[in-house]
A and B are shown apart, each in its own frame.
Chain A
Amino acid sequence: KQEVTQIPAALSVPEGENLVLNCSFTDSAIYNLQWFRQDPGKGLTSLLLIQSSQREQTSGRLNASLDKSSGRSTLYIAASQPGDSATYLCAGPQSGGSYIPTFGRGTSLIVHP
C-alpha cells in the first residue's frame, strides 16, 4: 500500500524566511502530484499540480518539484508571510492506471509576524 510521509510535521518560523516542505512516497511510481493547503475547519485548496510529463511547477512565491525516480517532492515557499500559515498536504495517484491519490498527513506551518 502506498504511504506518504511529509517532513517536517510542524514548522514555526518568523516572517520572511524561505521554507522547504518535503513529501516522499513509498512507491515511486507516481503519476502526478498535487500540493494543497488546508486552513483550519476548511476544505483543501489546490496550490500546484505537477503533471506526469513535468518536473516542477511555479506559482508566485511557491515552487514545487517532483523527482519521480525517488518518489519525492519538495515545496518551496519564498519570503514566507503570516497568511501562509496553514497545513500543507501533498497527494498523488500511482502510475499504472490508479486514479486514487494517496495523501500525506501534512505539514502544519505557522509564520509569525
Chain B
Amino acid sequence: GAGVSQSPRYKVAKRGQDVALRCDPISGHVSLFWYQQALGQGPEFLTYFQNEAQLDKSGLPSDRFFAERPEGSVSTLKIQRTQQEDSAVYLCASSLVGVAGVYNEQFFGPGTRLTVL
C-alpha cells in the first residue's frame, strides 16, 4: 500500500480484556514508532523499532504494554488487562531510515481509537 495502515480503526474493550493493535508500515521503511494520543494532546512516544529490534521502549506506561515487530515489517502493540486510563488513540508511524538519518520524515497511520469500558 501507499501509506501506513492500522487495524482495527476502532476497538471497544471491557476492562480487563487483552487487545492487539496492528500496524503495517510503508514497505521498506526501517523505523517504526508507536504513540499514544489522548484527547486534545499531542502524540506521546511509546516505543521505537529499527527493523525487528526494539531499540527503545521507555515510553510504555506499564508492563501491561508490549510491542513486537518480529520480521521487521508489521508491528503489533498488545495491551493486557486493559484499564480505563488506556483509552486513547494509538498511532503508528514509519520512516525510511534509522537514527539521525537524512530522510527520517515520519509518516503516520490513521490510528486505532481504543475505548475501555
Determine if chain A interacts with chain B: yes
**A31-B100, A100-B56 given; A43·B41 CB < 8 A:** no
Residue B72 is within 8 A (CB to CB) of chain A in the complex: no
The SS class assigned to the B binding surface is: loop
CB pair A91–B105 under 8 Å, yes or no, is no
Tell me which residues across on chain B come within 8 A of A99, comparing CB atoms. Answer: 31, 48, 56, 98-100, 104
Given A4-B42, A91-B42: A43 touches B98 (CB 8 Å cut-off): no
Which chain B residues lie closer than 8 Å to A97 at the CB level? 99-100
Chain B interface size, as a band, is 20 to 34
The digit string for A87-113, where 1 denotes a CB below 8 A from any CB of B, is 001010000010111111110000000
Of the residues B45, B105, B111, contact of A43 by C-beta under 8 Å: B111
Do B99 and A44 touch (CB < 8 A)? Answer: no
Nearest 7 interchain pairs by C-beta:
A103-B42, A44-B108, A43-B108, A43-B110, A49-B105, A99-B99, A43-B111
Report A's interface with B, CB cutoff 8 A: 4, 31-32, 34, 36, 41-46, 49, 51, 89, 91, 97, 99-106
